[in-house]
Amino acid sequence: MNVFKTLTKSFLLALLTGAVATAFFTASAGAHDKDKSRWNQKYENEVYIFGKEPIPFLKNNVDILPKGRALDLAMGEGRNGVYLATQGFEVVGIDISEQGLQKAHRLAAANGTTIETRVADLESIQLEKGAYDVVLCAYYMQRDLFPQMKDALKSGGMVVVETYNTDYLKYQPSFRRQWALEENELLEIFKDYKIILYRVYDDGEEAYSSIIAQKP
């Protein structure tokens, strides 16, 4: 929303000065490029900052998921998507960072598998509708992406979401509240789905919520 407000403001100002097109594209590219270079920098060395193993919630429950096409949103270095590929899923990963996705391809090769990837900004993407058996999103919070995630699933497909919740602010007070899930928020978002698993975790250092839900 902040990006949208910034763009709207830039657009109106530019309209007044008669420089609409230039200002719009400068503002748009600015927001995208900042995120992209920040994440590319984080990923630029050989260390896998989020590790090479999938999140336990995915690994422990992979057998529940319908086999087929899986979409890993904000795939990063690929720990989750590559795991799904080793389990027989046909995986597509999207991320803003090409450095992250290059590491994901290397991780896939090291595990004797392959993935498809796409460098794109999820804030301005149009996901293919009714195309996936599984849509996964781990540790990336963009609330206005949830409707698209739902649309991207086939009927009977399942969504897997895990990210920090507001309890995490006890341990990381500088973490932005807008990036944390509110209590029962995932249950509310997927209230029209069949809830297969829902878990709230807090080990005194980290706190996050996880869900697997099935599209009717």
Say if CB 127 and CB 142 are below 8 A apart: no
Structure tokens at 44: 């630029």
Q: Does 133 bind ligand SAM (CB under 6 A)?
A: no
Say if CB 121 and CB 95 are below 8 A apart: no
Q: What is the DSSP string of 32-96?
A: HHHHHHHHHHHT-SSS-TT-SSPPHHHHHHGGGSPSSEEEEET-TT-HHHHHHHHTT-EEEEEES
39 to 78: interface string for ligand SAM, x by CB under 6 A? x----------x-----------------------xxx--
5 to 44: interface string for ligand SAM, x by CB under 6 A? ------------------------------x---x-----
> Based on the number of CB atoms within 10 Å of its own CB, is 160 exposed (0-12), middle (13-18) or buried (19 or more)?
buried
- For residue 22, the minimal CB distance to ligand SAM (Å) is 23
- For residue 54, the minimal CB distance to ligand SAM (Å) is 9
Return the number of the residue (121 or 185) whose C-beta is nearest ligand SAM: 121
Contact pick of 123, 151, 167, 185 for ligand SAM (by CB under 6 A): 123
Q: Which of 165, 156, 157, 207 is nearest to 188 (CA)?
A: 165
Say if CB 98 and CB 56 are below 8 A apart: no
* Residue 33 backbone dihedrals phi, psi, to 5 degrees: -65, -35
- For residue 115, the minimal CB distance to ligand SAM (Å) is 13
Q: Which of residues 183-202 bind ligand SAM (CB under 6 A)?
A: none
Q: Does 139 bind ligand SAM (CB under 6 A)?
A: yes
Q: Does 79 bind ligand SAM (CB under 6 A)?
A: yes
Q: Does 164 bind ligand SAM (CB under 6 A)?
A: no
Q: What is the DSSP letter of 175?
A: S
Please give the residue ranges that form the binding site for ligand SAM (CB under 6 A): 35, 39, 50, 74-76, 79-80, 95-97, 100, 121-123, 138-140
